[in-house]
Amino acid sequence: MSLLSLFRPARTESGRKLHDFHGGIHPPQRKTLSSEAPIRPGPLSATLVLPLNMHLGAPALPCVQVGDRVLKGQILAEASGPVSAPVHAPTSGVVRAIEPRPIQHPSGLDALCVVLDSDGEDRWTALTPCPDYRDMPRAELVARIRDAGIAGLGGAGFPTAVKVNVRDSQRIEQLIINAVECEPYITADDRLMRERAEGVIAGIQVLQHLVQPMETLVGIEDNKPEAIAAMRAAAAGTGIEIVTVPTKYPSGGEKQLIRVLTGKEVRSGGLPADVGVVCHNTGTAWALHRLVTTGEPLISRITTLTGTAFAEPGNVEVLIGTPVADLLAFGGVPQPHTGRLIMGGPMMGFSIENPLAPVVKTTNCIIAAPLSELPEPEPEQPCIRCGACAEVCPADLLPQQLYWYSKASEFDRAQHYNLMDCIECGACAYVCPSHIPLVQYYRYAKGAIRQQAAEHQKADRARERFEARTARIEREKAEKEAKRQARLEANRQKSSPATSVAAATPAADPVADLKKAVGEASSAYKAAVKIAKEAEEQGADNAADLRAEADQLKARADELKIALRDAKANAPAAVAPTAQAAPADPVADLKKAVGEASSAYKAAVKAAKEAEEQGADNAADLRAEADQLKARADELKIALRDAKASAPAPTRPAPASPAPAAPPAVSLSTAPESPTAQANAEDEASAEAERAKRAQRMKALKTAFNMSHKQWKEASAALERAERDGLPDVDTHRARVDKLKKKADLAKAQLNELVEAAKADMKASTGTDLKTLKLQAARAESTVREKTAALATAREAGDEERINVLQQELAAAEQQALETARTLKQAVAEQGLSDGDDA
Amino acid sequence: MALLHVTSPHATSSQRTGALMRQVMLATLPGLAVLTWLFGWGTVINVIWAMLIAAAAEAAVLKARGKPVGLYLRDNSALVTAVLLALAIPPTAPWWLTLIGVGSAIILAKQLYGGLGMNPFNPAMVGYVLLLISFPVEMTRWLAPGAAPDLATSWQLFLDRYPGADALTGATPLDSFRTWAGDASALAAEPILQGRFAGLGWEWVNVAFLAGGLYLLWRRIITWHIPVAFLAGLGLCALPFWLYDPVRFASPLFHLFSGAAMFGAFFIATDPVSAATSRWGRLIYAALIGVLIWVIRSLGGYPDAVAFAVLLLNLAAPTIDYYTQPRTYGHDKPKRGTG
């Protein structure tokens, strides 16, 4: 068969060379069931259900309210995007509801519908026809088509207005009207062409006017001689060519018909317009004709009622929204109907789940067939690789391979075998002697592949977002850094006269102090490591120990802070005439300090993360501490940079933070300027040592409190369990709880005492207290927030001047906030307090 | 309402795997008739016996595998294997020969690979080759055409109780030609080589299988690709050598109508499970079988070669498919490989 047609291409009467596509089947037509009766008007249902997603693209948006009285042809829902179509009232009545209703969708899910109670009057709204459409601007005609809700009546329901609106750059060679109607049973287009050929031709002329094709071809299968004759007569003298194509399923597939009529192939994944072809359906042409002559929107269509269960099969002009159940009653299907109920044809139609589902714009056929006509599918048998499927595939795929790979979920391979080019025509499953539901396997694989692609895309988007965010943070950091640099530069210039005096004064041995500080820091570090190890050994319930570790690390950072201050103070002294050996030391020590501080920060972050993962109570605290350490490390870095910059010059580097209240530690290194200062320095030194001791003790107490508190909590839980379950050892538990509670309370009380002492000490030495500092920091932060919000508002309003002002103000506020925050942190850290100790 | 909720397509053709297999068995009837006419009832007894063994073996394995026995037996594939193998076995074969052959074909070559559709090799040919190698004497004990033993003798042979079995046997045309190739007078004197257009008797066996094959083509059970390519490969390979030296090399016609040529072309190589699946793949697959048959018959150690050639090309089928995928609609060129 195929060999013969390969050597002898078919030609039409007009001499047009027809092409063949691979495969295809010849299922029993069964068209005469419905093709011989004239088109009847359909029933007027009491209730019409109008899904908002009848077309391909975005669902329409309802523009009526429940209870509204509407007239026939009035708009119910508007198109909601470039690819969308409005929905109109098919009859006059009252909007009863806008709610999800069962519709005919393969998903079986309900969809939002406008439910219209018919008033039986069927009263039209005012219509405006446009028979002079040729004189209208093109855009206006396209808008009229769009507003009429016309969507492809053949299969997918693609909005017609989008399809006719071809780009100027696209030269359309062929306008193809698909009147093939290749599926068995369906005769809607056949009857339409037999009875209303003039109207169809007039509609095709509307399409011609819009698309301006070089030729217009109407493809009709040779099993519809009456329709061909009627169309030929109507098309005489119009230049529209009626082409008879050999009957073969699925020659009505868009891609197949294009190949048959033109020999062109639509590229995989491409559109017909890419090869200069536009395809429309016969029913669509008729709807366009109605629009231009009467102004009617798309509110009805011709639907074939067929299958032997219908007492009166035939074609019916049915209002869109009519429930299938009403059509079954109209066509005399005995109730209850058993067997198959299909919307669409027997090859590609969908089983109707619920007969209350309405007829939609794409419903060309309703088949009610008893089991004797379309029996139950037979059990699936093994594939015998007979290859019958490959022989009939119109896309020239290897359905057998697609089946193996789809079944095995090897989607990559299925795609390699061009699964996505499958048009789901069902020819393969039709011929399969083993009754394998091949199309079902392909649908499954396609769905899975689409889902994978969607997830992939989602992941890509998330990654892009993350990268953009990281880049933004980096940028902001760099900007802040630049600002800070500028500020430091300004400060340094301001303070240089004072430092030149300071540089001339003799200095104590800074190297010894630094060494001591570094030694302390490293011993603290060792302690932290030891504790961390212990925590690791203890496993999961080490949150309290991790807290202790973080405390230790903080303590070390504090020591480093002292070292930093020493270095900063001594750097200029060292380069003073007396000591030439010193200059290298502060920088080197600072470097070391920076390294250690950042590693301390990293360790703290790690501890905090672990605590978070374990859901420990103090995770937030740990995190806050890590942040503090980070700030500390940053300060050290800046100091290091300053030290590097100033080391060769006899200038004193500016302090890292121009704190309003100079921390007392500074006095240790800056003190020995005179004999009295020497004595002061000794006092200061002993006070400092005391403070350090107190800080250590506070840390130990905190650890003790945390541990006992945790144990108390656990013991309480154990006690509760014991009480609930009535265990004998309730008393033991209770005693333990009491003991631990006491222990925790004691630690807390001692800790509080120390905290109070530290606070008092701080107030005495700095003239300010923690609360004031905190208040300052909070105020500065809220100013930043206010300015940020104001800036955003200004940006939205596009007020350039205000944006500039606000940007400057925001920068100033940010700087202020940064400084207060740093001061606060310093003050807190120097007293060995943490943020939480204020309460 | 009791509605069926199934996906499209809702209509299916009336093709059934079981019916297809039945058609294949029906198509072997002319060949079986001619074999019976020439060699007596032995082949009929073998066919019936083989079908019984195949059904029993298939049912036993299906039961052991926990599959629905009735459903799978109804695909008739085991019976087809049995019939094809029984037709290939000499009519003098004792019962145990068929038992071993069919048993291995069904159990080893088919079910152990996963049953129908999963076997890489043609089960009947696996059984045939296993017997040919294990029992060369019994497997080459063909009778002289026309000297058909009566039913009683055939039954005795089947029961392996006939004392003078070896006395009955005669060489096949392919055997004789191999023996006397190059000796023009001997070839002219050998009575079995004096058929109308090929070997005596055997030419009609092949004509009968050709008729059955044409029936399969007419019923669209098989496509033309494999038989045509098979016979073309064999015939076109034989033609130049025969023209070069007709005494040493047999004529294409002799090759096409001797041994299992027609049987192989229409019934064996067309087994879809173990053949290549794409259109071009099937042409290449079958043509290479034809070429290989000529090579083994003319240059190899065995008088006939259908089984060996088919099994060797079964091995190559996946590779052939790998390189012969069709060009899908909308694509510039066919793809290669499996992705």
| pLDDT tops 80 at residue A639 | no
Lowest-confidence range among A378-392, A546-560, B230-244? A546-560
Lowest-confidence range among A167-176, A246-255, A297-306, A517-526? A517-526
How many domains, chain B? 2
Same domain, B130 and B152: yes
Same domain, B306 and B218: yes
CB contact at 8 A, A179 and A171: no
Q: Give the mean pLDDT of chain A.
A: 80
CB contact at 8 A, B113 and B120: yes
pLDDT > 70: what percent of chain B?
98
B225: CB partners within 8 A, 6+ apart: B279, B282, B283, B286
Show the domain range for B272.
172-325
Here the tokens at position B321 are: 């498919």
CB contact at 8 A, B229 and B288: no
The phi and psi torsions of A259 (rounded to 5 degrees) equal -65, -45
What DSSP assignment string belongs to A537-591? HHTTS-HHHHHHHHHHHHHHHHHHHHHHHHHHHHHHHHHSTT-SS-THHHHHHHH
Same domain, B122 and B248: no
Same domain, B178 and B229: yes
pLDDT of residue B312: 95
Burial label for B109, CB within 10 Å (0-12, 13-18, 19+), is buried
Within A89-240, residue ranges assigned H as helices are 138-147, 160-164, 188-211, 225-235
Give me the residues paired with residue A302 across strands: A317
Whether B10 sits inside 8 A of A374 (CB atoms) is: yes
B233 domain residue, yes or no: yes
CA atoms of B125 and B136, how far apart (whole Å): 15
Give me the residues paired with residue A366 across strands: A305, A343
pLDDT > 90: what percent of chain A?
36
B259 domain residue, yes or no: yes
Looking at residue A55, what DSSP letter applies? Answer: S
Sheet holding A87-88, edge to edge: A61-62, A75-78, A87-88
Cβ neighbours around A238 below 10 Å, total: 13
Cβ neighbours around A779 below 10 Å, total: 13
pLDDT of residue B142: 87
B333 domain residue, yes or no: no
Which residue of chain B comes nearest to A392, CA vs CA?
A: B279
B330 domain residue, yes or no: no
CA atoms of A470 and A464, how far apart (whole Å): 10
Question: At which residue do the structure tokens 């059904």 appear?
Answer: B55
Which residue of chain B comes nearest to A335, CA vs CA?
A: B1
**What's the average model confidence in pLDDT over A745-766?**
75
Please report which confidence band the pLDDT of residue B313 belongs to, taking 50, 70 and 90 as the band edges. very high
Nearest to A696 by CA among A559, A814, A534: A559
Whether A265 sits inside 8 A of B326 (CB atoms) is: no
**One-letter amino acid for residue B203 of the chain:** E
CB contact at 8 A, A715 and A709: no
Final residue belonging to a domain, choices B170, B189, B216: B170
Best of A386, A409, A422, A431 to disrupt the B interface by mutation (most B CBs within 10 Å)? A386
3-state secondary structure chain B: CCECCCCCCCCCCCCCHHHHHHHHHHHCHHHHHHHHHHHCCHHHHHHHHHHHHHHHHHHHHHHHCCCCHHHHHCCCHHHHHHHHHHHHCCCCCCHHHHHHHHHHHHHHHHHHHCCCCCCCCCHHHHHHHHHHHHCHHHHCCCECCCCCCCHHHHHHHHCCCCCCHHHHECCCHHHHHHHHCCCHHHHHHCHHHCCCCCCCCHHHHHHHHHHHHHHHHHCCCCCCHHHHHHHHHHHHHHHHHHHHCCCCCCCHHHHHCCCCHHHHHHHHCCCCCCCCCCHHHHHHHHHHHHHHHHHHHHHCCCCCCHHHHHHHHHHHHHHHHHHCCCCCCCCCCCCCCCC
Same domain, B149 and B186: no
Pick the residue with more confidence: A803 or A764? Answer: A803
Which residue of chain B comes nearest to A184, CA vs CA?
A: B11
Best of A396, A425, A442 to disrupt the B interface by mutation (most B CBs within 10 Å)? A396
Same domain, B218 and B258: yes
CA atoms of A503 and A496, how far apart (whole Å): 10
pLDDT (tens digit, 9 = 90+) per residue, A509-534? 555 556 666 666 666 666 666 665 66
Whether A340 sits inside 8 A of B273 (CB atoms) is: no
Give me the residues paired with residue A70 across strands: A93
- Beta strand A174-178 with A215-221 is parallel
CA atoms of A776 and A773, how far apart (whole Å): 5
A434 chain-B contacts, CB cut-off 8 A:
17, 75, 117
Best of B12, B61, B282 to disrupt the A interface by mutation (most A CBs within 10 Å)? B12
CA atoms of B235 and B255, how far apart (whole Å): 7
B90 domain residue, yes or no: yes
Lowest-confidence range among A376-390, A435-449, A565-579? A565-579
Pick the residue with more confidence: B64 or A807? Answer: B64
| pLDDT tops 70 at residue A462 | yes
Within A350-419, residue ranges assigned H as helices are 388-392, 399-407, 411-416
CB contact at 8 A, A56 and A158: yes
Final residue belonging to a domain, choices B148, B170, B192: B170
Same domain, B216 and B289: yes
What DSSP assignment string belongs to A76-103? EEE--SSSB--EE-SSSEEEEEEEEEE-
For chain A positions 390-409, those within 8 Å of chain B (CB to CB) are 390-391, 394-398, 400-401
For chain A positions 424-463, those within 8 Å of chain B (CB to CB) are 424, 426-427, 429-435, 437, 439-440, 443
CB contact at 8 A, B306 and B261: yes
C-alpha separations of A392 from A349, A397, A399, A603, B3 in Å: 19, 9, 9, 68, 29
| pLDDT tops 50 at residue B1 | no
Residue A513's SS3 state is: helix
Pick the residue with more confidence: A505 or A323? Answer: A323
A826: CB partners within 8 A, 6+ apart: A561, A657, A659, A663
The phi and psi torsions of A280 (rounded to 5 degrees) equal -135, 160
Which residue of chain B comes nearest to A272, CA vs CA?
A: B330
How big is chain B, counted in residues?
339
* Peptide bond between residue A336 and the one before it cis (omega within 30 degrees of 0): yes
pLDDT of residue A198: 93
C-alpha separations of A594 from A449, A479, A512, A564, A634 in Å: 52, 22, 19, 9, 8
Same domain, B276 and B299: yes
A463: CB partners within 8 A, 6+ apart: none
| pLDDT tops 50 at residue A413 | yes
CA atoms of B2 and A339, how far apart (whole Å): 7
| pLDDT tops 90 at residue A403 | yes
B1 chain-A contacts, CB cut-off 8 A:
335-338, 341, 355
Here the tokens at position B253 are: 């016609």
Chain B interface includes A257 (CB < 8 A): no
Nearest to A755 by CA among A703, A705, A698: A698
Please report which confidence band the pLDDT of residue A705 belongs to, taking 50, 70 and 90 as the band edges. confident
**What's the average model confidence in pLDDT over A637-663?**
54
pLDDT of residue B134: 94
Among the partner-chain residues B11, B15, B335, the one whose CB lies closest to the CB of A347 is B11
B192 domain residue, yes or no: yes
Please report which confidence band the pLDDT of residue B16 belongs to, taking 50, 70 and 90 as the band edges. confident
pLDDT of residue A580: 44
CA atoms of B333 and B26, how far apart (whole Å): 41
| pLDDT tops 90 at residue A204 | yes
What's the gap in Å between the CA of A301 and the closest CA on chain B? 23
Same domain, B50 and B194: no
B10 domain residue, yes or no: no
A265 chain-B contacts, CB cut-off 8 A:
329-330
CB contact at 8 A, A552 and A537: no
pLDDT of residue A835: 45
pLDDT of residue A244: 92
pLDDT (tens digit, 9 = 90+) per residue, B250-301? 999 999 999 899 999 999 999 999 999 888 999 999 999 999 999 999 988 8
Same domain, B60 and B149: yes
Final residue belonging to a domain, choices B120, B142, B170: B170
pLDDT of residue A566: 60
**What's the average model confidence in pLDDT over B71-76?**
88
Taking one residue from A and the other from B, the number of pairs with CB-CB distance under 8 angstroms is 181
pLDDT of residue A500: 47
| pLDDT tops 50 at residue A64 | yes
B297 domain residue, yes or no: yes
Same domain, B93 and B190: no
Same domain, B178 and B257: yes
**One-letter amino acid for residue A695 of the chain:** A
Phi-psi region of A231 (alpha: psi -120 to 50; beta: other; left: phi over 0): alpha
